[in-house]
Amino acid sequence: MRTVVHLVRHGEVHNPEGILYGRLPGYGLSERGREQARRVAEHLGGADVTALLVSPMQRAQETAVPIAEKLGLEVVTEERLIEAANAFEGQLVSVGDGALRRPEYWPLLRNPFRPSWGEPYLEIAHRMLGAAHRARALAAGHEAVCVSHQLPIWTLRRYLAGDRLWHNPAKRQCALGSVTSLVFDEESLVDIAYAEPSGTSTGTGA
């Protein structure tokens, strides 16, 4: 029995201050982000989707709205799809400015392989895998959509591919409004596909 779980990264966020917003409330989509969400909905419009699971964060919930409308589905909030926890939430973290220049934050950078500044990669992978298998079970024999965030999606993809979980963030293949598709035969993963219906090969934000 073939089941596909589509992991959708939310659209662009309105963040004029350029801070790392992480799990902070009040960060919704920009106009460009809403357009990206509409494009994802069009991309999935012909798919046999029977379940829609969404991170509780505002930007993910807003991304799910046109998908739910297009597919005629109810949004189910799935806590395990949430953004990764990060000690730098609310800070500027660009290279050369903000929190990274302040000595009191340097101990948080001691172990990039875990990472020491936030939720461990392995914990992210395990919770995301649990969410993906919930979606697979709900949509058995059909397709499911999970709306989440860049780091959780990319961490799960690396975990499933057997790659090391620590990585260069600049090399993530998980653009805004992208779709990473996990193809299952019964409970076994048999393929991973990737698409960018929003037409953006790059994109910042969580």
Reading the chain (206 residues) residue by residue, the pLDDT tens digits are 999 999 999 999 999 999 999 999 999 999 999 999 999 999 999 999 999 999 999 999 999 999 999 999 999 999 999 999 999 999 887 766 676 777 877 788 889 999 999 999 999 999 999 999 999 999 999 999 999 999 999 999 999 999 999 999 999 999 999 999 999 999 999 999 999 998 765 444 56
Cα separation of 4 and 196, whole Å? 17
**Tokens 């975990």 — which residue?**
159
Contact 146, 10 (CB under 8 A): no
Could you tell me which residues come within 8 angstroms of residue 102 by beta carbon, excluding any fewer than 6 positions away?
A: none
Assign 188 to helix, strand or coil.
strand
Strand-pair category, 2-9 with 179-185: antiparallel
The 179-185 sheet, strands edge to edge? 75-77, 49-54, 143-148, 2-9, 179-185, 188-195
- Residue 192: phi, psi to the nearest 5? -130, 125
Q: Hunting for tokens 């902070």 — which residue is that?
A: 24
Rounded to two decimals, the pTM is 0.93
